[in-house]
Amino acid sequence: MGATSILGVVTFGAKVLVVAVLVGFFVAASSASPPRYVYRDVALVAVSGHGKVTSKPHGINCPGTCRTLFVRGTHLTLRAVAAPGWRFTGFKSTFCNGAHATCVFDMVSSHDCVGGACPTGVFGVRARFVRDS
């Protein structure tokens, strides 16, 4: 029973009408669908050497913030920038390998984690920087 059907039945004074409206909204709210859950996964970056890794969307700014929760399915871009006197040699993981300064992937299933086995929902990437010669 919604608020409009209650109002159609009630023809008394304003005080009773207000109560009928409140009851109508309570009934409508209690019959709403349950909340939808939002699953989040962890992006984890390990840096060796001197440099910075940032993410888009915002969240990773490593060193400093090297792990962040993102909504499952996020299209994540990691970008590496070497410190002065250092150079970036590459990302290493099961989904980003090579000397490209960007690592792009979708957080849709668990991959590997830096250092071995990790719990479901962890996406690990290692970024390596070496001294410039």
Residue 91: is its pLDDT beyond 60?
A: yes
In this prediction, residue 108 carries a pLDDT of 79
Q: Are residues 59 and 28 located together in one domain of the fold?
A: no
In this prediction, residue 98 carries a pLDDT of 86
Check: CB of residue 126 under 8 Å from CB of residue 92: yes
User: What is each CA distance from 123 to 52, 83, 100, 119, in whole angstroms?
Assistant: 18, 25, 18, 9
| Domain span at 113 | 40-131
Q: Are residues 60 and 78 located together in one domain of the fold?
A: yes
Q: Count up the domains in the chain and report the number.
A: 2
Q: pLDDT per residue over 55-90, tens digit each?
A: 999 999 999 999 999 998 899 999 999 999 999 999
In this prediction, residue 1 carries a pLDDT of 42
pTM: 0.67
Q: Are residues 85 and 127 located together in one domain of the fold?
A: yes
In this prediction, residue 116 carries a pLDDT of 52
Check: CB of residue 124 under 8 Å from CB of residue 93: yes
Q: Are residues 124 and 62 located together in one domain of the fold?
A: yes
Under the banding of pLDDT at 50, 70 and 90, the label for residue 95 is confident
Q: Are residues 77 and 120 located together in one domain of the fold?
A: yes
Cα–Cα dist 105/42, whole Å = 13
Percent of the chain at pLDDT > 90 equals 44
Strands 122-131, 40-48: parallel, antiparallel or unpaired by DSSP? parallel
In this prediction, residue 58 carries a pLDDT of 96
Under the banding of pLDDT at 50, 70 and 90, the label for residue 20 is very low
